[in-house]
Structures are given as C-alpha cells and as structure tokens.
Amino acid sequence: MMTAWEWIRFLIGAGLIIFGLFVLFTAVYGNYRFRFVLNRMQSASLGDTLGMLFTLAGAMVLSGFTVFSLKMLLVIVFFWITSPASSHLLVHMEVSTFNKIRREDEEGGSK
Amino acid sequence: MIRNWFRSLYHWAEEGEFSAAGEDQSPAEQEESSVCLDESNAWLAEVRSDEGFVPRFLSWLGTPAAAALYRDLYRVFAAVICLTVTIVLLVTVPFLPEFGNPDNPANNEVSERYIERGLEETGATNIVAGMILDYRAFDTLGESNVLFAAMCSVAILLRVDRKGKEANIPEIQVWRWDGKANIYLRHATKILIPVTMIFGIFVVLNGHLSAGGGFSGGTILGASLILLSNAFGSKRLEHYFSNTVCKWLTFAALMAYACLKSYSFFTGANHLESGISLGTPGALFSAGLILPLNLCVGCVVACTMYSFYAMFRSGGIEDGV
C-alpha cells in the first residue's frame, strides 16, 4: 500500500525521466536530421546536458535521499562541467578552421 | 676476395658492366679477381641475351598482360583465402565448449585455487589484484616493460639529433596555441584537475581493496596530466614534469617492481620466510607487496600515457632529453 507521499514521489520521478527521455530522443533525432555542423553540435550537447540532467534527476527522486542519489548528483555535476566544455571546444575548432562557415550560416544552414 | 667482389659489384652498379678491380693489388689477387670477373661477365651476357628464360620472364613482368594476370590472381587468391578462413572458423565453432558450462576447461584447479585461497594467500580482498600482482606478478612486470619499450621506441623515432648537422633540421614546433587555451577549458580544468588526480590516486591505492588498480588508476592520472597540459600549456607543465622526469620515474618504478618481486620470488622459491606480513584483509596497508607494486604500475602507466601525448604534440624530442 503506497502512501500519498510515495505516489507523489513516483509521479514526479517518472515525469522527470519521461521528459529526459524526450529530450534525449530529440537530441538524437536532431543529430541525424540537421545538416549544418553547428546545429548538429547544439542538439548533441543538448542531449548530454539537459537530457542527462532530467533522467538522472528522475532516478534520484525515485531512489530517495541515499548515497546512491548523491553519486548520481556527482555524475550530473561532472557532466555539466565536462560536456559543455568539450562541445564548446569542438565548435571553436570548427569555426576557426572552416573558412566558409559564415556564408553557410547566412544561407540558412541547409547545406 | 670478398672485398674485390664487392668492389666489382659496385662498379657494375655504376657503369653497367663488370670490370677489373683497382690497381693496388698483388698479382695473385689480380688473378683471382680476373677469374671472378670472367664468371660475372659470362652471367651478365647470359642475362642480357634474349635467349635465357629469366630475362624474358623479367621483361614480360613489365607488360600490361602481366599486370592483368596479377590482378586476376590477386582476386582469386583473396577470395580463396577469405573463404578458407571463414569456413575454418565456422567449422571450429560447434567444437567450442558451451558458454557457462561448469565442466569447461577454463574452470580447472587453478581458478578454483584463486577463488578459494586467494584472500588467505595474497591478503587482497580484490581477487583480480591478488592474481595479477601476486600469482602472476611476473606477467604484469612484462606488461609494464612493454609500455616502457613502446615509450622508448617512440622517443627513438621522434628524436632530433642536432649535433654536427645544422642544416635540414626543422625547428621543433611548439603548437601555436600552446598555453593560450580557451578560458572555458581553463576554468573547467581548474575545477576538474584536483578531483581527477585524487580519484586516480584513490584507484591506485585501493587496488587491492576494490575494483581498480595500477593500470586503471594510472590511466586516470595520465588523462588528467594530458588535460592539464592542454589547458595551461605544455611549457608550464614541463617545469616540473618534463620528458626526463617521466623517463626516470618510469625507470625507477620498473626497477622497484623488479627488485621487490625478485626478493619475493627468491624467498618463495627457497622456502624462506619473506618477512612481509599480509596484514588484516581490508585494511589499506595490507596484502603485502600488492600496494607498492600497484603504485609502480600506476607510475609507469601514467608516465607512458602522458609522454606519448607530449612527444607527439611537439613532433620531436630535443637531443639529450
């Protein structure tokens, strides 16, 4: 018999995980759908940050206040430090080495 | 005799035909070399005439027909070899022991002993560390030496010798952006470096207690060194961690490993008391030699990883480093 508090916790956790999975799915879809490199990069880093955050937050809510959820918090912190940094560096490299990038950007990035 | 033969061969390569060797020879030597000369010239005449089989074959090899035949043969042999290997592998599969079967040959008395008496004999709660650093320590020493040998051979290949040859040696280029990394990367590195370093040291030190050990912990340490060098420039890192330090640290770690393990092999083979206590299983200072051996392996792996990166990024090593 689940109490009302447990029901609320379950619903919040499940909702967070479902939203995170939705973001991850969007990221993967965008990664294949977009043709322009910076758009692809944006969707890829979206999955790494926002999708990871919501799925792990949902798992944390479901597992309650334990050492396990503290570890998941550490995973989130680690990902939010490293993943944007690596995406940023990749984009930086792309922009500084690819000469025609400004023109493609102005054309709408369809190429 | 041999010298004369080489001399005439050299002459042939230069001039196109065998000739008498130099003037500075005694009559006997000249006699000998003239015999050699006649034989060689006879062989040369046979090769050059259109009669023999070998020269005709050699000239035929250059024709398009030969190229086409070679291409067809290549295709046929490639197909035959691929099919043979595939069939042999597929035929072998049904004879392999079933996965997970307790009667498999892998489940013999060796692994049984590792599992049953590993804790008691090595003192390590991590049974894998007990295996690779106690039962099979000799094998692990070989693996660490392979890393060191790889490092040495890369250093030999990338070495730039400046002594005596001023010209034609390009300057060793430091990367244009060295030490000018993105501000974002620097801030992320400032936060991450202490954590990754401590985590790597933790994994090395706890190799005998939990999952991990010298190889995995050394990899974490090497990766954090690479990150540090990327963010703040290899010049700044080289103040206290240059290639020389790297090399000597690896050497010292390997020597320490070899000495420690030699001692324990010697005492063990002669049934002597080694005097190394195994301690209480689960404590940090326990399991005898496994902790120092893990430290040595961690040093070797971290130095190898970092020095590969450092050597390939600069594209060369100054002489004497």
The CA dihedral of B20, B23, B27, B30, to the nearest 10 degrees, is -20
Cβ atoms < 10 Å from Cβ of B83: 10
Residues B42 and B32: their CA atoms lie apart, in Å, by 16
C-alpha atoms less than 13 angstroms from C-alpha of B312 in its C-beta half-sphere: 9
CB-CB neighbors (< 8 A) of B182 in chain A: 88-89, 92
Torsion sign (Cα): A73, A75, A76, A80: positive
B70 has a pLDDT exceeding 70:
yes
CB-CB neighbors (< 8 A) of B185 in chain A: 85, 88-89
- Distance between A80 CA and the closest CA of chain B, angstroms: 10
**Numbered residues of chain B with Cβ closer than 8 Å to any chain A Cβ:** 182, 184-185, 188, 191-192
- What percent of the residues of chain B are helix, what percent strand, and what percent coil, each to the nearest 5? 70, 0, 30
Is A39 contained in some domain?
Answer: yes
- The residues, ordered by sequence, that sit 6+ positions from B249 with a Cβ below 8 Å of its Cβ are B299, B303
Which one is predicted more confidently, B253 or B52?
B253
* Beta carbons of A82 and B188 less than 8 Å apart: yes
- Distance between B309 CA and the closest CA of chain A, angstroms: 18
- Distance between A31 CA and the closest CA of chain B, angstroms: 24
Q: Specify the number of domains making up chain A.
A: 1
Q: Does A92 touch chain B (CB under 8 A)?
A: yes
Task: Please report the DSSP string for B221-235 in residue order.
Answer: HHHHHHHHHHHH-HH
CB-CB neighbors (< 8 A) of A81 in chain B: 188, 191-192
Compare all CA atoms of chain A with the CA of B184 and give the residue at the minimum distance.
A85
B36 has a pLDDT exceeding 90:
no
CB-CB neighbors (< 8 A) of A85 in chain B: 184-185, 188
CB-CB neighbors (< 8 A) of B192 in chain A: 81-82
| Model pLDDT for residues B251-270, shown as the tens digit of each residue | 898 888 888 888 888 887 77
Residues A28 and A20: their CA atoms lie apart, in Å, by 12
Is A89 contained in some domain?
Answer: yes
Structure tokens at B98: 């079933």
Identify the CA nearest to B229 among candidates B241, B219, B247: B241
| Domain around A28 | 4-106
Residues B66 and B19: their CA atoms lie apart, in Å, by 35
Q: Are A34 and A43 in contact (CB under 8 A)?
A: yes
CA distances B219 to B79, B196, B303, Å, are 42, 11, 9
CA distances B60 to A3, B51, B249, Å, are 92, 13, 59
What value does the mean pLDDT take over residues A32-55? 88
CB-CB neighbors (< 8 A) of B191 in chain A: 81
Compare all CA atoms of chain B with the CA of A85 and give the residue at the minimum distance.
B185
* Beta carbons of A85 and B191 less than 8 Å apart: no
What local confidence, expressed as pLDDT, does residue A110 receive? 46
Residues B143 and B218: their CA atoms lie apart, in Å, by 14
- Distance between A47 CA and the closest CA of chain B, angstroms: 19
Residues A30 and A47: their CA atoms lie apart, in Å, by 10
Q: How confident is the model at residue B17 (pLDDT cuts 50, 70, 90)?
A: low
- Distance between A4 CA and the closest CA of chain B, angstroms: 40
Q: Are B130 and B211 in contact (CB under 8 A)?
A: no
* Beta carbons of B188 and A81 less than 8 Å apart: yes
Q: How confident is the model at residue B175 (pLDDT cuts 50, 70, 90)?
A: low
Q: Assign residue B179 a region: left if phi > 0, alpha if psi is -120 to 50, beta otherwise?
A: left
Q: Are B295 and B214 in contact (CB under 8 A)?
A: yes
Is A111 contained in some domain?
Answer: no
Out of B112-126, B188-202, B222-236, least confident range: B112-126
- The residues, ordered by sequence, that sit 6+ positions from B208 with a Cβ below 8 Å of its Cβ are B123, B124, B125, B126, B129, B130, B133, B286, B287, B290, B291, B294
- Distance between A11 CA and the closest CA of chain B, angstroms: 35
Which one is predicted more confidently, B58 or B300?
B300
* Beta carbons of B192 and A88 less than 8 Å apart: no
Letter string b/e over residues B53-73, b meaning 16 or more CB atoms within 10 A of that residue's CB? eeeeeeeeeeeeeeeeeeeee
CA distances B261 to A82, B160, B197, B274, Å, are 40, 36, 27, 11
| ipTM of the complex in this document | 0.71
Structure tokens at A94: 């792309």
* Beta carbons of B188 and A85 less than 8 Å apart: yes
**pTM of the predicted structure, to 2 decimals:** 0.65
> Facing residues of B317 across strands?
B159
The values of phi and psi at residue B126, to 5°, are -85, 110
CB-CB neighbors (< 8 A) of A84 in chain B: 184
B236 has a pLDDT exceeding 90:
no
Chain A to chain B Cβ contacts (< 8 Å): 16
Q: Does A88 touch chain B (CB under 8 A)?
A: yes
